[in-house]
């Protein structure tokens, strides 16, 4: 169960973005999300739902290195590529897989479909998107307790 929760949170991390109001340029959210590959920075469960990580999956050792070194590239045409990085969880799986994506709800959410991040897909809330950072979240249930998974990505 811990590996499943970790996989979901890592997957979320690579899947969406929101533009930060402090951005001084006129880049669109599509410009920002497609500006380069995104890598895992941190992620975990927000148990009290206050917007901050209460259980950091990376520092607790619940996130295997084979997931933490993955990267995601979002293309302008709504497609994307997930790269397994230097350490693959399963050598029988391909190095890269494709997915599709689209902003929804006035770009406050993103839908991901396909083989993005261990096959995880769905709709995620866009929390932050800047030229160097994006954060996504998704409400879920962990061991019958409601929680929010938060994933922070970086360039």
Q: Are 96 and 82 in contact (CB under 8 A)?
A: yes
| Contacts of 18 by beta carbon, 8 Å cutoff, 6+ apart | 29, 107, 108, 126, 127, 128, 129, 134, 135
pLDDT of residue 122: 86
pLDDT of residue 1: 45
* Rg of the chain on CA atoms, in Å: 14
pTM, 2 dp: 0.79
pLDDT of residue 118: 52
| Digit-coded pLDDT (tens) for 83-99 | 999 999 899 989 999 99
pLDDT of residue 61: 65
Q: For residue 131, give the H/E element and its range.
A: none
Domains of the chain: 2-154 (2.40.128.540)
Token reading at 52: 């901050």
Residues of the chain scoring pLDDT < 50: 1-6, 9, 11-24
> Within its chain, how far is the Cα of 107 from the centroid?
15
Helices in the chain by DSSP H: which ranges?
2-13, 29-33, 65-68
Q: Virtual CA dihedral for 25, 27, 32, 33, nearest 10 degrees?
A: 160
Q: For residue 127, give the H/E element and its range.
A: strand 122-129
Length of the chain: 155
Q: Are 16 and 110 in contact (CB under 8 A)?
A: yes
3 state SS of 72: strand
Report the alpha-carbon distance of residue 98 to residue 74 in Å, rounded.
Answer: 10
Report the alpha-carbon distance of residue 72 to residue 115 in Å, rounded.
Answer: 11
pLDDT of residue 58: 72
């Amino acid at each position: 169960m811990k590996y499943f929760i970790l996989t979901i949170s890592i997957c979320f991390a690579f899947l969406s973005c929101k533009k930060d109001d402090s951005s001084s340029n006129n880049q669109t959210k599509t410009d920002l999300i497609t500006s380069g590959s995104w890598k895992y920075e941190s992620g975990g469960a927000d148990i009290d739902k206050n917007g901050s990580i209460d259980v950091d999956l990376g520092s607790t050792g619940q996130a295997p290195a084979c997931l933490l070194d993955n990267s995601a590239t979002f293309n302008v045409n709504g497609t994307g590529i997930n790269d397994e990085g230097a350490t693959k969880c399963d050598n029988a799986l391909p190095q890269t897989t494709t997915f599709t994506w689209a902003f929804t709800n006035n770009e406050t959410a993103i839908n991901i479909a396909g083989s993005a991040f261990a096959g995880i897909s769905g709709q995620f809330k866009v929390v932050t998107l800047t030229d160097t950072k994006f954060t996504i979240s998704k409400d879920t249930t962990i061991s019958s307790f409601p929680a929010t998974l938060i994933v922070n990505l970086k360039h």
